[in-house]
Structure 1
Amino acid sequence: MKRREMTAIDLFCGAGGLSEGLRQAGFDVRAGSDFNEAAGATFERTHRDAKFLGGPIQDLAVDDFLRAARLRVGELDVLTGGPPCQAYSVYNHKRGMGDARSTLFREYLRIVEGLMPRWVVMENVTGITSAGSGEALRAIVEGFTNLGYRIEWRVLRAEEYGVPQERRRFVFMGNRTGEPIVWPEPTHGPGLKPLITVYDAISDLPILHNGEASVGHDYTSEPRTEYQTELREGSTGVFNHAAPRLANINMQRMKHIPQGGSWRDVPVDLLPRGMQAARRCDHTKRYGRLQWDRQSSTILTKCDIHWGAYIHPEQNRSLTVREAARFQSFPDWFVFEGSQTDQFVQVGNAVPPILGRQLGLALQSGSERVRKAA
């Protein structure tokens, strides 16, 4: 007997990285919601079988989601979501429960209570464990428990699942049905498949100069790795591949930085004034150049070379949106809408689709065990 597709709704979906991963795992993604208009345009373009609900989640009723997903209360298999993480991020020096975004998880719980899905999956940055002295973590667990869900949580390392990037995500997973909670087993690392590298991810993309955009969207070489072959499948070309234009002073700085190097390799007189007296142990990845044989550093909502390792391994320029998307494991046909700034935000906020796929397969595994035992 053919297995029924599990249904999913994605709250705070952004461009839809987690949704795309679930779809790759065989899920029927029925709807997504987000406040960001550019992300919504991307979601609608790339998830044509799903209904997008825009605007503040506070303005959306449970019935809006039920109508969009064509389901009744209790029928949804999985409700996923990642409430905005900036309030918990270690990169936000004012992080904590005082940030208005930090309580948006209560909106997630409101929708859970109304929909009563079988499964819930919530992801966030690892800083959620310490923000507000752990208040957010305790409130989330208590909220799920009060609704009848058994919850587990783990920190997942994206690179251990085939994502070419050092990225940590805090994931809650649970259900109200008593099904076993199965976590995805790592596929890459010591004793497993080799970690996917920067070379594996972007070495086939067209060469660009500072401020230059790829013309015609044509691939200029054949795929050089299995990873590139997978991400190019179904795409008609290279999109969102344009190098942000950097000032001349940054071009001078980059000439001194080798692969794996950083601001420490830049002559002091070329450094920003505020960094000229910095201790050598400070600003570890500022003006960092990526290495072909390593993983990318964490992709943030802007790949600004002043704040991290976002210089191309060989070309004297910063990363493009497409390169950031490759490091996040988005397929090449996945085109991002909005301004270049909007696009970087969408990519940086996303759950890597490959990680989402592994989570989806784990969810199916837990349900499959119950069906076989019945």
Structure 2
Amino acid sequence: MKNHTAIDLFCGAGGLSEGLRQAGFKILAGNDIDPHAGATFKATHSEAQFLPGSIHELSANDFLKLTGLKKGELDCLAGGPPCQGYSVYNHQRGMHDERSHLFKEYLRIVEGLMPRWLVMENVTGIMSAGQGEAFQAVLAGIRNLGYEVEARILRAEDYGVPQERRRVVFMANRIGAPIVWPHKTHGEGLKPFTTIRDALGDLPPLKNGEDKGVTKYGSRVKSDYQREVRGTSKMVHNHSASKLGAINIQRMQHIPQGGSWRDIPFDLLPAGMKRAKRSDHTKRYGRMRWESQSCTVLTKCDIHWGAYIHPDQERSITVREAARIQSFPDWFHFEGPRTEQFVQVGNAVPPLLGKCIGEALQVADLLSVSEPERAFATG
């Protein structure tokens, strides 16, 4: 089978490119404005070139020169233009947010590279922001460049990721190939959903604020998922607990697995939450349940934001635990301060989802080959 090539725009730490790599793609280059994410990408993608800085300051020719490709030779241009302008967590979201227009920069690079395939990922909020203006603009922009395009909402948990995560994925090609979407692998009638226990059960325990540095695993492998993410790793990196104040420790002691702020005695609640309706803030101060999936991993796994309390330890989850929930392999180490590591993990496409997308793309690409070429490609 052909060794497909890919470039990853807005690559962050490289979750999507790691998934494509697992599917057999050769990652040629990445770009991101975040220096900490760039450092992680460079450390984990030694085969790829990294172009730092704003996409506004780069041209398609920069990527062509860097990779030695000619226009039209690249197999796949991947990318996830920053999504904060569309996120439902951004209460001022909309098309007035300048981040809502970064997809135009993606399309500018597409026009200069004319790859065979496009893969673009974003939050589901893009479908409603500006009354759907951005979503329709992306579709129209891709079609105007001569591509056939489809978009779907994919659920990460359907592909083995231990997390409830919804994202819009755009897939497009200009080669007349069918667009093949990845088949679900987990759920009813399929493999069981991956649980928090499957993901985190072998990691060493920590106390609130504890940092053991690089440390040994807490136990032997206890699930197929752990075996997969461990690979050949012998030690655990990026596994230190944030220091939470005494009042938060008091609050946690009242929260059972699957519980939330509703389980905290009224006099211990933060002032703002004492005025909240019980139907509000459903994930705040949530404690994970061993046998369920995580809520969406955000760029800040703060217990004030969501269900980021460890199932049975009185602390919030670590960067490594967030990375496990995102399906990053354990050898994938995150650079920069811990707050920036959380940002990198939360912004990423889960590599396992990226792998499934890459495998579907390869199937579709094979279907586009003429009969003699198909026989050559498979022979």
Please report the TM-score for the alignment, with normalisation by the length of structure 1.
0.98
Q: CA deviation at 1:87?
A: 0.4
Give the CA deviation at 1:372.
Answer: 6.1
Give the 3 Å change call, closer, same or farther, for CA 326–118 of structure 1 in structure 2. Answer: same
Deviation per CA, 1:206-230: give whole Å up to 9, x if none.
0000000134421131111000010
Q: Counterparts of 1:110 and 1:178 in 2: how far apart (Å)?
A: 22
Aligned residue among 83, 86, 89 for 1:88 = 86
Q: 1:282 aligns with which of 280, 284, 294?
A: 280
**Alignment correspondent of 2:23:** 25
Deviation (angstroms), 1:185: 0.6
Aligned-pair CA distance for 1:373: 3.6
Determine helix, strand or coil for the equivalent of 1:301: coil
* 8 Å Cα contact 2:151/2:171 also seen in 1: yes
Compute the TM-score of the two structures, normalised by the length of structure 2.
Answer: 0.97
Contact 1:167 1:297 in 2 (8 A): yes
Q: Quick one: which of 210, 213, 216 aligns to 1:212?
A: 210
Equivalent residue number for residue 260 of structure 1: 258
Distance 1:38 1:278 in 2: 37
State, as a whole percentage, how many aligned pairs show the same letter.
65
Task: Quote the residue 1:189 is aligned against.
Answer: 187
Please tell me whether residue 114 in structure 1 is matched to residue 112 in structure 2: yes
CA distance in 1, matches of 2:64, 2:235: 37
Q: Displacement of 1:236 after TM fit?
A: 3.3
Unmatched tracts of structure 2, length 5 or more: 373-379
Work out which of the residue numbers 100, 115, 122 in structure 1 matches 2:98: 100
Q: Cα deviation per residue 1:71-108 (whole Å; 9 max; x = unaligned)?
A: 11000000010000010000100001110100000000
Q: Structure 1 216/78 Cα, relative in aligned 2: closer, same or farther at 3 Å?
A: closer
Which residue of 42, 58, 61 corresponds with 2:59? 61
* CA spacing shift, 1:112–1:320, aligned 2, 3 Å: same
* More displaced stretch, 194-203 vs 271-280: 271-280
Aligned residues: 372
CA distance in 2, matches of 1:34, 1:253: 39
Amino acid at match of 2:193: L
Q: What RMSD, in angstroms, separates the aligned Cα atoms of the two structures?
A: 0.8
Could you list the structure 1 runs, at least 4 aligned residues long, displaced by more than 4 angstroms after superposition.
none
Q: How does 1:1-374 map to 2 (within 5 A)?
A: 3-371=1-369, 373-374=371-372
Q: Give me the whole-angstrom Cα distance separating, in 2, the residues matched to 1:153 and 1:286.
A: 31
Name the SS of the counterpart of 2:237 in structure 1: coil
Q: Structure 2: which amino acid aligns with 1:361?
A: E
Residue 155 of structure 1: how far off its partner (Å): 0.1
- Which is worse superposed, 230-239 or 117-126? 230-239
Partners of 1:84 and 1:101 within 8 A in 2: yes
Counterpart of 1:232 in structure 2: which amino acid?
A: R
| Secondary structure of 1:193's aligned partner | coil
1:281 CA displacement = 0.8
- Partner of 1:52, secondary structure, is strand
Give the counterpart letter for 2:301 in structure 1. Answer: C
Secondary structure class of the residue paired with 1:138:
helix
Q: What is the identity, as a one-letter code, of the residue corresponding to 2:98?
A: A
Q: Which 5+ residue runs of structure 1 have no aligned equivalent? A: none
Whether the 8 Å CA contact 1:11–1:80 is kept in 2: the answer is: yes
Counterparts of 2:162 and 2:70 in 1: how far apart (Å)? 39
SS, match of residue 276 in structure 1: helix
The 8 Å contact of residues 214 and 238 in structure 2, kept in 1 or not, is answered as no
Q: Alignment partner of 2:258: what SS?
A: coil
CA distance in structure 2 between the partners assigned to 1:161 and 1:364 by the alignment: 17
The amino acid across from 2:307 in the alignment is A
**1:240/1:322 contact within 8 Å kept:** yes
Contact residue 297 and residue 309 of structure 1 kept, 8 A: yes
Deviations for 1:268-323, whole angstroms, at most 9, x for unmatched residues? Answer: 00000111121111111110000000001100000000111000000000010000
SS in 2 for 1:152: strand
Partner amino acid, structure 2, of 1:303: C
- Give the stretch that moved more between structures: 65-74 or 243-252: 65-74
Q: Distance in 1 between matches of 2:58 and 2:131?
A: 30
What SS does the aligned partner of 1:246 have? coil
User: Take 2:370 and 2:161, find their aligned partners in 1: how far apart are those partners?
Assistant: 32
